[in-house]
Amino acid sequence: MSGNGATNQAALIELENVSKIFYTDEVETHALDGVDLSIHPGEYVAISGPSGCGKSTLLSILGLLDSPTAGDYTLNGQPVAQLSQAERARTRNREVGFIFQSFNLIGDLTVYENVELPLTYRGMQRAERRERVTEALERVEMAHRAKHLPSQLSGGQQQRVAVARAVAGQPCILLADEPTGNLDSKNGEAVMGLLQALHDEGSTVCMVTHDPRYAEHARREIHLFDGRCSRYPQGRH
């Protein structure tokens, strides 16, 4: 697959008129308002915008962690609204790789065990798990730290492990939520280089960021403001 993102294929992600309303103390908060979005296999898309504009809400919906109030979401040809909770969990485990700002590693598990855990939930055989984990750690240059605990790693190293965990399952899309947010500029650039390398190898990447420097790494940028989308041209950087 070309890393440039061929758009003549069927969309991997398709949102049509998606809205999300949160209700608290009789107040309606419109986090998303009529969002239309298509992401094709092999694309690298950045979703940017100021704090509170709906970026993380959108990513939660894309990753099946939340559901829209209205509108349609199709993931890899499957209408998400038709999935049961069990099917959503299974799809999330197999189709989506998450990279979080806060790493979300389990403190009392080793690096190897953190990367292996989502594969265990699939019922994957030990030999295949070992092969997947080893390959993923080698891709992010963390195989030499496989027996370490997260507390023994720097922030940049922890994020590399989080990337390895995301790619080990060979998901159809990587969702990165402010992946450089807890890193200094040097480690931030290193993680961005890693995402670029994964994209060049054919991975589909959708990244949320408020930092225009990192948004420019993507091939296409979608700007969110007050829950609505505007688009920059593909390859604007």
pLDDT digit string (tens) for 102-139? 999 999 999 999 999 999 998 899 999 999 999 999 99
pLDDT for the residue 118: 93
Segment 59-98, tens digit of pLDDT = 999 999 999 999 999 999 999 999 999 999 999 999 999 9
Neighbouring residues of 15: CB distance < 8 A, sequence distance ≥ 6:
35, 36, 37, 38, 61, 62, 71, 72, 73
Range 43-67+82-231: architecture per CATH: 3-Layer(aba) Sandwich (3.40)
Q: Where are the domains of the chain?
A: 43-67+82-231
End-to-end CA distance of the chain: 22
The predicted model scores a pTM of 0.87
**CB crowding 82-120: b at 16 or more within 10 Å, else e:** ebeeeeeeebbbbbbbbbbbebebeeeebbbbbbbbbbe
Cα–Cα distance measured from residue 203 to residue 110, given in angstroms and rounded to the nearest whole number: 26
